[in-house]
Every structure is written in C-alpha cells, then in structure tokens.
C-alpha cells in the first residue's frame, strides 16, 4: 500500500467548501501516479516508448464529505497486475479524524499511444509492478 498525502484546495470545493465529487478521480490519479513513481515505474519513460495507461473502468463510493483545507490520505493498493491490466483500490481518509471519506476502484490497461490498441507491458516493468504490489495482493 502507498499513502499519498494532500491538502484540499479551495478551488476543489463548492460554495459550502465541500469537495466536488469529480475531484476524487483526480486524487485517485495523483495517488496512482505517485504509487508507480515510488515503485520505480516512470510514466514519462513509458510514454516515450509509446505506452499509456488509460482507465477503462472506475467506481467511486462517497461515505462522507471532505472539506476545504482538510488533509487527506489516499491509500492506494495495486490489487491486480498482469501484462494486460492494472486494478487499483483507493481509500480516502481524513488525516485529522481517521474517518473514511471515499472508496474507489480503477481498472487500467496498457495501450499504444498512437493506435489506441492494447499492448503488453515490457516484462521488466511488469516484474517491477508485481514486486512493489506484493503486499497489496496478499
């Protein structure tokens, strides 16, 4: 599991200073990218090789609202990894109260940047992802 910490910005909220629901997808993406970076998988390097990771499925459940200036912990787990897809689970938690605010799940695949066709991840990158996510799948 990787824990990504961030503070809610004012522009991410509505008139009641509650985080707009669409921003949780951004939080998931930030956490997912940092998870991969921390594990040694550089998305820029893969994009230079023509490989991107589009999301093909997303699920979000809102439990409680997050608010302006609140510090959030986005707990990210890579639950499934193979040469065709990545499945991530997320929990957004208030650092101050420990309350579970939002849960989510995304499914990514690997595609050729130019053609949009599904491609296989290079073996060395797959091995790295399997290694960094071992604890997430036990």
Residues identified as active-site: 14
CA distance readout (Å), 134 to 2, 129, 138:
12, 9, 7
d(CA 21, CA 117): 31
Residues whose CB is less than 8 angstroms from the CB of residue 8 and which lie 6 or more positions away in sequence, other chains included: 19, 66, 67, 68, 69, 70, 71, 72
């Amino acid at each position: 599991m990787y824990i990504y910490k961030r503070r809610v910005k004012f522009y991410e909220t509505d008139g009641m200073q509650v985080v707009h629901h669409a921003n949780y997808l951004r939080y998931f993406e930030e956490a997912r990218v940092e998870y991969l970076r921390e594990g040694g998988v550089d998305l820029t390097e893969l994009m230079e090789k023509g490989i991107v990771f589009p999301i093909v499925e997303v699920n979000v459940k809102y439990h409680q609202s997050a608010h302006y200036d609140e510090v959030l912990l986005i707990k990210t787990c890579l639950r499934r990894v193979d040469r065709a897809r990545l499945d991530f689970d997320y929990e957004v938690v208030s650092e101050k109260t420990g309350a579970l605010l939002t849960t989510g799940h995304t499914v990514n695949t690997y595609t050729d940047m130019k053609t949009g066709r599904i491609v296989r991840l290079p073996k060395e990158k797959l091995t790295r992802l399997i290694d960094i996510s071992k604890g997430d799948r036990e």
